[in-house]
Chain A
Amino acid sequence: MTALDELFRRAARAQDESEQSDGVIDEAHQKLVSSGAMTASPRRRTVSARTGLVLGVAIAAAAVFGLVSARSRWTSSPRVSDSELRFSDGSTIQQHGALARIESVDRHGATVRLERGMIHAAIEHRSDTRWTMLAGPFRIFVIGTKFSLSWDPSGRQLNLSLTEGAVQLQGPLVGSQRVSSSQSVRVDLETQTVQWSGADAGAVVASSEPGGGEPAVEPPSSAFPVERPRPDPAPRPSLRPGDSIARGSGSRAPLRTQPAPPESEAVETASSLLTRAEQARLDGDAARARALYLSVDRLFPTSREASTAIFLLARLRADVDRDWRGAAEDFSRYLSVAPDGPFAEAAAGRRIEALLRAGDFVGARQRSTEYLQRYAVGAHRSLAERVVSGSTL
């Protein structure tokens, strides 16, 4: 079996292990049941983005608002422009090329999941109204308001624009924030930015830079008597480096972003920093990954994450920067702080390679000897043997 075969097997194992936890089968079953496919001549209920939200049966459910629950009912529209869901309390949801579904309807309101595209909602205010909009990892709690909501799952971008009233937005990057009339917020999970605009943006304005002219962040507490959402699986601070808040002045201010220096990331934990560094590396942003690795090492020097960051930094220097000397030094640094660490063998082996490429044949031979003494069956054994025997030099 080749190393690549083993990698494929690892992928298969990961896929199989996720079967019990990813809920795919249960979700598909629920959709089949709620669409009637299990009991009647099947009709296709899952629809494309073009045919989106509509709402045949859901409208019927809404007509008896308070009596009927229409869980995960997918409906399709023959004409996108005609797609409107009208509830018996007067609330309406219009879609524009969106794919959405009603997750639940009860006498207090409904939960609507927006899978992709844009919807315009006009929710009638009542004292006991509790509506929830779900979009990706975000939740929007609504009492009575008019707003537009869009979610792009591929770009992982949420846009929320309030026309009237206010909502409570919860999710990654924003924490829990009140969004008021004439405010707009765009949350981009790809670029890790939050952009505010509109008349009351100042209500949640803050600066993440110490000594800046802006007041400190103080997310407003929820003014909504709604059920508490599940805790975000990856809770994050309400403001993140790279966030930018544009003060409005009665009309929508231009959106802007502004990268933050790595120093401001001290508010995070070592693990969250390392995770974001890995995200940046996998996204191909080597410079940001490098800065974050260095932040981990500098801010949490005694943590396990710091040694991991050193190793990953060394690998970045080798694989991306082709800085062989720097890579060899960082691999050595890792081995000095974590001689028995999980990357010790890989660091020792890759240090040989880095030294060779840097032209340090003496150093490579010395490290190869050490490697063979310690890792008799290591992955870099053949390289080390060749170096020691001189066949590579």
Chain B
Amino acid sequence: MALPFQGNDESLVRGCVAGRANAREALFVRFAPLVRRILVRTLGPADELADVLQEVFVEAFASIRQLRDPSSLRAWISRIAVNRARRSIRSARRRRWLRFFSPDELPERPQSPADLEQSDAVARLYRVLESLPEEERVVLCLHRINETPLEEIARLCDLSLATTRRRLARANERLARCCAADPALRQYVGDTNR
């Protein structure tokens, strides 16, 4: 059992580069929740979340010696997570990435009616998100579900701020159109028929 790692980001990076188990463990403990959050925001609660999360850290351990500025560790690993998520979306478009109601996961007793209603709307929202182009979906999910500022999204996605804005605008327009076409989501974007 490795000793707990104590130190700042710089010593953490040095420890990881040196292959120290406690440093890698500390890196995982420190950033796994952040990475999971980015992945689940962009992928939804997908079956392969644990695999993608693992891959993010495998990639991080393999490339951490390329990290020039240890103070940007958080942004660096976030960028790896976003890129992994994008690759996962591209490679798994055929798969349903949200199964709130997959038969084997259904509770024996249904959720309360209110929860049922909410889960339904959220499930439909995810289905709409799934239909968006990958580059728009990632920007939209980070901005609207994760509430990540545009400037940070631009950095995470290696985009200019202007491009990020354009993508987000396109994504929002597409989202509004899709929601308006869905009877259960129409109320969330304003019922144009009223």
CB within 8 Å of B: which residues of A?
2-5, 7-8, 10-12, 14-16, 18-19, 22-25, 27-29, 31-32, 35, 37-42, 44-46, 48, 136-137, 153-154, 156, 171-172, 189, 192, 232-235, 269, 271-272, 274-275, 278-279, 282, 304-305, 308, 311, 315, 318-320, 341-343, 346, 353, 379, 383, 386, 392
Contacts and interface: CB of A to CB of B under 8 A. Distances in A.
Interface size, B (range): 35 or more
Given A19-B36, A318-B183, A28 B104 contact: no
A4 to B, nearest CB: 4
Contact of A8 (B95, B116, B120, B125): B125
Nearest to A281: B120
A192 B55 contact: no
Contacts of B118: 10
B179 A4 contact: yes
Contacts, number: 175
A11 B103 contact: no
B120 A341 contact: no
Given A31-B51, A282-B120, A3 B109 contact: no
Among B58, B62, B95: residue with most chain A CB under 10 A: B58
Among A25, A45, A274: residue with most chain B CB under 10 A: A25
B21 to A, nearest CB: 5
Chain A contact residues: helix, strand, loop or mixed: helix
A367 to B, nearest CB: 15
8 contacts: A24-B50, A41-B62, A45-B58, A233-B107, A275-B106, A304-B113, A319-B184, A383-B194
B183 A28 contact: no
B108 interface: yes
A7 B61 contact: no
Interface string B99-142: 01111111111101110111111111110000000000000000
Interface stretch (B40-48, B66-74, B162-170): B40-48
The 3 closest A-B pairs by CB, nearest first: A319-B183, A137-B104, A27-B50
Nearest to A312: B116
Given A10-B122, A15-B41, A274-B110, A3 B188 contact: yes
Among A4, A29, A48, A234: residue with most chain B CB under 10 A: A4
A11 B126 CA distance: 9
B75 interface: no
B108 A271 contact: yes
A7 B104 contact: no
Nearest to A173: B103
Given A271-B109, A282-B101, A28 B54 contact: yes
A147 B11 CA distance: 53
